[in-house]
Amino acid sequence: MNEIKRTTLCYIENDGCWLMLYRNRKPDDANEGKWLGIGGKIEAGETPEECNCREVMEETGLRLLSAHFHGVIRFRATTYEDEDMYLFSSRDFEPADPHALRVFRESGTYEPPECSEGELHWIPQDELMGLPMWQGDRAFLRQILEGRDRISLTLQYEGEDCTIISED
């Protein structure tokens, strides 16, 4: 049996907008053309919380002061690698860069840096569900936007088609 890939994903909110990554810069990217939250693969010896903070810092330049853990989303697929994703959200962060931190404290705004994986944009909440994204991502993002504290799903993918197998 193959080992299941372990990842994190974090949705970051500020003043009614959510920081999203439009994947368009990595060669052979299965996520190309889709909008995602911020995240990546958990490294050996790393906890999901540590991975979440590291990935957010690497991709956005933001230091998470706290993040809410919603639960585990289990992806099972015929075409892609099986994955257990630890889902987080945060409204409690600050820019790591001193100049950006000063601007953020004065204006409440943060202009994300260039990201090697795609383009980072603050998307108003009422526009999120209209973005091109994976069907499964749409399911758990909707639950975050509805204020659900705990989210646990098993999703079955056949190509790009997604079925919710279980919801705990």
Structural domains for the chain: 5-167 (3.90.79.10)
Residue 3 — pLDDT band, cuts 50, 70, 90?
Answer: confident
pLDDT above 70 as % of the chain: 98
Both tokens assigned to 132 = 């091109």
**Residue that is written with structure tokens 């790009």 in the block:** 160
Q: Is the pLDDT of residue 79 over 90?
A: no
Reduce the secondary structure of the chain to three states and give it as a string. CCCCEEEEEEEEEECCEEEEEEECCCCCCCCCCCEECEEEECCCCCCHHHHHHHHHHHHHCEEEEEEEEEEEEEEEECCCCCEEEEEEEEEEEEECCHHHHHHHHHHCCCCCCCECCEEEEEEEHHHHHHCCCCHHHHHHHHHHHCCCCCCCEEEEEECCEEEEEEEC
pLDDT computed for residue 158 by the predictor: 81
pLDDT computed for residue 30 by the predictor: 81
Mean pLDDT confidence for 20-45: 90
Q: Is the pLDDT of residue 1 over 60?
A: no
118, 24 Cβ separation under 8 angstroms: yes
Mean pLDDT confidence for 57-65: 97
75, 85 Cβ separation under 8 angstroms: yes
Q: Is the pLDDT of residue 142 over 90?
A: yes
122, 14 Cβ separation under 8 angstroms: yes
Entry pTM: 0.93
Please tell me the distance from the alpha carbon of residue 134 to that of residue 152, in angstroms, as a whole number.
Answer: 17
Q: Is the pLDDT of residue 109 over 60?
A: yes
Mean pLDDT confidence for 24-33: 82
Q: Is the pLDDT of residue 71 over 70?
A: yes
pLDDT computed for residue 78 by the predictor: 80
Can you give the length of the chain in residues? 168
pLDDT computed for residue 16 by the predictor: 96
Give me the chain's average pLDDT, please: 92
